[in-house]
Structures are given as structure tokens and as C-alpha cells.
């Protein structure tokens, strides 16, 4: 694997412009002082309750996501290119979803294999013919981006179902402003604090038509045992709307209503953080205790808007990912501004043959996997692990895709009393409603172990504040 591009120092050929003011500041800091600031940051996070749980872990206690106090910095011109590429991508993804649940022109044109859609677990046949407000299926999207060179940004993954992490982006910024006001005075950093306002405007813009009052919005959470519960509560609080669980809601006369101390109140927009399967026990899993009986019929009849729409997961399925360049060209008539990572669909015989021959060099992922689970990082795996994965791959090849092991960019990170480069990615959060809204930056996730490429918090990764500089 080639040497990684460092976002502060390039390939060792000199300090990059976006980091000049930061490098000057860092050069006069003492490690002991930075360590104390890290401890202070942890105390701030603990006080605010920003924790998460790891499913299946023996230690079920809530944890803090490790936070690195050295920011990741993006130049204004770099962000403009990312912004244009992300906007192009989310518009194409929503056009794709509308088409898949209506005329299916892209299938008729032979640009995507039909069985990849209709036999996909993420495809929801009940959504066929449903017209969501403004034709939007995925209103809140997280686009995972990696960098491998000065001008080389690529999309690693699209998250069109219920992307999480935006609360960390906001809390990271607030913490940094508290800890290092002097550092902000040296850099012209674009704000992210208006995300909740943008989210509220987006949700209001997709409310059902012909309301005779301002739309009523609620955030649906599976409850306090969910790993992202802090975020659900945080966003509801930031927007000034109700946080509800399934038992707080009821469908009466085709309307979704919320139980309050003043009686039942109509809900017009439901920002759900519950998976499709658990949304409505009358349509999906009958044993679900998390959803609301009848809510899907209320949605289909246009009486309530569900954000993101049921069935939106078809656009972030990893088997579909390799066709995203085709999807962008089909619906926009233009080539993608942001490239995909080269991807091998193991359901294809030739791709499977190549992957089996090159397992030690590749990253192999489950089509429906997330959080860094169910994957093989070939260069970091033992022979025994590779052979065990080979058997799983042969047994069910259509369940996997594979990608080259990329030399992800690095950024200075405070680790064990030293400033050292660590690999990272970026998840900008995009809001799609009456317009596309994108706050500058996103959640930077960093692999804290030396040489590790796995940035997920569930696998030991941490986060950084992401700075987009003004011109």
C-alpha cells in the first residue's frame, strides 16, 4: 500500500496552506497542556451525556467516543468541490429511488440488473406507487468520504436510511470553542451551529400539503436503550420538538396523533430513527413493539410524512453502491464529480474469482453490514482469519462486496502523549427538502490505533472537529 497523504504535511513536501495558522499554534503548545485539555473535553462530554453503547459487548455500560482535540482542516476551495459533488449525488439518489418505486426506467434501460433491486432485502414493495412530498425519499443523508491525495476525494459509502453522528459534530464544535477560543481567532472557520435550524426547515418543507396550521414535528426513537439515543434526544431538544416512542403515538381516523397532557395532538412529520422492519407491525414485523400500527397507511394516504421514507435503504445497499456512477449519469446526464472507490460485486463470477485470489490485499464487507462489523481488512488479518472469511465468501458470495485497501489520508492526532498521524474519513450530513442544505464540514472519524484503517467508534475509533475555512 502506498504511503498515505497527510492533510497537514502533504507527502512530506511541506506544510499545506490550510494548516499554517494551526501549525504555528501547535508549535508553541506543551504536550502536558494538551493532555489536560483532552481531560477537560472528556469531562464536558460526560456532563452533556454524549455517550453510546456497543451492541453485543460484554461491557454494556455507556461509553464516551474518544475525542481528539486537534482539528481536521479543509480549505474553502476543497469544500466547494465536495459540496458540488455531494449535492449532485443526493439528487441522483433521490431520483433513483423515485424511479425504482415508480416506472423503473433504469431497469428497463438495463443499467442495473433487475434482480439486484427486486430481490434486495432493502427494497420495500409496499412503497411502489407512493408519492412522498416533493418526491423525496431520503431527506437526511450521510455521505462517507475518504481522501487519498491532494485532489483525490472519493465516496466510500452512502447512508440514506437513518444516518447518525451529527450530534457529535455539533458537540465537538461546541467543545472546541470552549477549550480553544484563541485558536479560532487565528482561523476563519465556518460555523456548523445552524444545523438544527436547517433540519427543522427541511422537515417543515416536506410536511403534507394543505395544512391549515404550522406542521407538527416529532422525533421517533426506539428508546433509551438504543445506542444513538443521546442523538435522538439532542436533536429533538435542539429543534424544540417532541421526542416520542411508539407507545406515545396512535393512528385514529387515518391521522397520526401524539398523546400529550392536553389530549391527542396531530403529528404531520415524523423524523423516525426506527428501522423499516419495526415501523408498523401491521405491514412489516408483526412482533415489533417499537412502531405504530397503521402509520404506514397514514403515510401512503399523505396524512403524515415519514423521514426518511420507508424503502430508502435501497440507495445505500452496498451492492447498489458500485452502480452509483451509472445512476448519477442516468439521472443527471453528467459524470460524477466525486468518484466511487473501485468495488467488486462478489455476486459476479469474475469479481468473485478476483476477490478470492486477492483476499490478503482487499477489504471485504457484508452488503448489509454497518459499524465496521462483518468485514475483513485483508492486510491486517491473519492467515486463519482470511481462510475463515474465504469459506463464508464461497458459501454466500452475493452477501459481499470487496474494495482495494486504500491509503486513507492522515491527520495529526494526539495519541498517548504524542502528536502522530492517524487515518481518517469524513461524514458530511446533507438535508434534502425544498432545497439541499449542507452545513460546512461534518463528522471526522479517526482510527486511533497506529496503522488502523477502521474509524468506527464501535471498533475503537474516535472523532475530531472538522474545520472548513472561509476564503
Mean pLDDT to the nearest integer, 196-218: 96
d(CA 291, CA 295): 8
Asked if pLDDT for residue 62 goes beyond 80, the answer is no
For Cα atoms 277, 279, 282, give the angle at the middle one, nearest 5 degrees. Answer: 90
pLDDT tens across 81-138, in order? 999 999 999 999 999 999 999 999 999 999 999 999 999 999 999 999 999 999 999 9
d(CA 254, CA 345): 43
Which helix (H) or strand (E) covers residue 340, if one does?
Answer: strand 339-340
pLDDT for the residue numbered 63? 73
pTM score: 0.93
pLDDT for the residue numbered 136? 98
3-state secondary structure of 51: strand
What is residue 216's DSSP assignment? Answer: P
d(CA 406, CA 173): 28
Do the Cβ atoms of 168 and 50 come closer than 8 Å? yes
pLDDT tens across 356-411, in order? 999 999 999 988 766 556 789 888 899 999 999 999 999 999 889 999 989 899 99
Where in 170-284 does DSSP place strands (E)? 217-220, 242-244, 249-252, 255-260, 263-266, 269-272
Q: In the sheet where 344-345 sits, what is the strand order?
A: 344-345, 400-404, 362-366, 376-377
Distances (CA, A) of 31 to 193, 314, 421, 471: 29, 47, 15, 31
Q: Which domains does the chain have, with CATH numbers?
A: 17-208+304-341+406-468 (no CATH), 209-303 (3.40.50.11290), 344-404 (3.30.1490.270)
pLDDT for the residue numbered 342? 94
Residue 413: which residues within 8 A CB-CB, separation 6 or more?
68, 70, 419, 420, 421, 422, 446, 448, 464
pLDDT for the residue numbered 182? 93
pLDDT for the residue numbered 461? 87
Residue 328: which residues within 8 A CB-CB, separation 6 or more?
88, 89, 92, 334, 335, 336
What percentage of the chain carries pLDDT values higher than 90? 82
pLDDT tens across 313-329, in order? 999 888 899 999 999 99
Strand 305-307 vs strand 269-272: parallel, antiparallel, or unpaired?
A: parallel
Do the Cβ atoms of 424 and 444 come closer than 8 Å? yes
What's the length of the chain? Answer: 471
Distances (CA, A) of 398 to 153, 166, 346: 28, 32, 6
Q: Where are the alpha helices (DSSP H) in 410-466?
A: none
What per-residue string of b and e applies to 45-83 under the rule 16 or more CB within 10 Å gives b?
A: beeeebebbbeeeeeeeeebbbbbbbbbbbbeebbeebb
Amino acid at each position: 500500500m502506498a504511503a498515505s497523504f497527510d492533510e497537514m504535511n502533504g507527502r512530506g513536501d511541506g506544510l499545506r496552506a490550510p494548516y499554517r495558522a494551526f501549525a504555528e499554534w501547535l508549535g508553541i503548545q506543551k504536550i502536558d497542556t494538551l493532555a489536560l485539555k483532552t481531560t477537560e473535553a472528556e469531562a464536558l462530554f460526560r456532563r452533556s451525556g454524549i455517550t453510546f453503547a456497543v451492541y453485543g459487548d460484554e461491557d454494556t455500560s455507556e461509553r464516551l467516543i474518544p475525542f481528539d482535540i486537534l482539528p481536521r482542516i479543509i480549505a474553502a476551495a476543497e469544500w466547494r468541490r465536495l459540496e458540488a459533488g455531494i449535492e449532485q449525488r443526493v439528487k441522483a439518489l433521490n431520483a433513483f429511488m423515485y424511479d425504482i418505486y415508480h416506472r423503473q426506467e433504469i431497469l428497463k434501460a438495463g443499467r442495473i440488473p433487475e434482480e439486484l433491486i427486486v430481490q434486495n432485502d432493502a427494497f420495500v414493495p409496499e412503497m411502489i406507487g407512493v408519492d412522498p412530498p416533493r418526491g423525496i425519499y431520503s431527506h437526511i443523508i450521510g455521505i462517507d468520504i475518504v481522501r487519498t491525495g491532494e485532489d483525490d476525494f472519493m465516496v466510500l459509502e452512502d447512508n440514506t436510511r437513518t444516518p447518525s453522528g451529527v450530534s457529535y459534530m455539533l458537540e465537538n464544535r461546541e467543545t472546541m470553542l470552549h477549550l480553544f477560543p484563541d485558536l479560532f481567532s487565528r482561523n476563519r472557520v465556518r460555523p456548523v451551529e445552524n444545523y438544527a435550524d436547517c433540519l427543522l426547515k427541511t422537515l417543515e418543507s416536506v410536511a403534507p400539503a394543505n395544512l391549515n396550521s404550522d406542521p407538527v414535528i416529532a422525533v421517533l426513537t426506539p428508546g433509551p436503550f438504543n445506542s444513538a439515543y443521546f442523538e435522538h434526544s439532542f436533536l429533538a431538544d435542539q429543534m424544540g420538538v417532541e421526542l416520542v416512542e411508539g407507545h406515545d403515538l396512535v393512528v385514529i381516523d387515518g391521522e397520526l396523533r401524539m398523546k400529550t397532557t392536553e389530549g391527542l395532538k396531530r403529528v404531520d412529520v415524523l423524523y423516525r430513527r426506527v428501522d423499516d422492519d419495526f415501523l408498523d407491525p401491521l405491514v412489516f414485523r408483526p412482533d415489533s413493539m417499537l412502531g405504530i400500527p397503521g402509520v404506514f397507511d397514514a403515510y401512503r394516504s399523505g396524512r403524515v410524512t415519514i423521514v426518511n421514507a420507508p424503502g430508502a435503504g435501497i440507495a445505500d445497499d452496498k451492492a447498489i453502491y458500485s452502480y452509483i456512477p451509472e445512476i448519477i449519469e442516468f439521472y443527471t446526464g453528467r459524470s460524477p464529480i466525486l468518484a466511487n472507490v473501485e468495488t467488486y460485486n462478489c455476486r459476479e463470477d469474475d469479481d468473485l474469482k478476483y476477490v478470492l485470489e486477492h483476499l490478503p490485499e482487499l477489504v471485504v464487507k457484508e452488503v448489509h453490514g454497518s459499524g465496521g462489523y462483518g468485514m475483513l481488512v485483508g492486510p491486517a488479518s491473519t492467515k486463519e482469519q482470511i481462510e475463515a472469511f474465504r469459506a463464508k465468501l464461497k458459501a454466500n458470495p452475493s452477501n459481499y462486496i470487496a474494495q482495494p485497501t486504500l491509503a486513507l489520508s492522515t491527520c495529526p492526532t494526539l495519541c498517548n502523549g504524542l502528536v502522530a498521524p492517524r487515518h481518517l474519513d469524513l461524514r458530511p450530513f446533507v438535508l434534502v427538502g425544498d432545497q439541499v442544505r449542507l452545513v460546512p464540514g461534518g463528522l471526522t472519524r479517526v482510527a486511533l490505533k497506529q496503522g488502523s484503517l477502521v474509524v468506527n467508534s464501535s471498533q475503537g475509533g474516535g472523532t475530531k472537529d472538522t474545520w472548513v475555512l472561509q476564503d
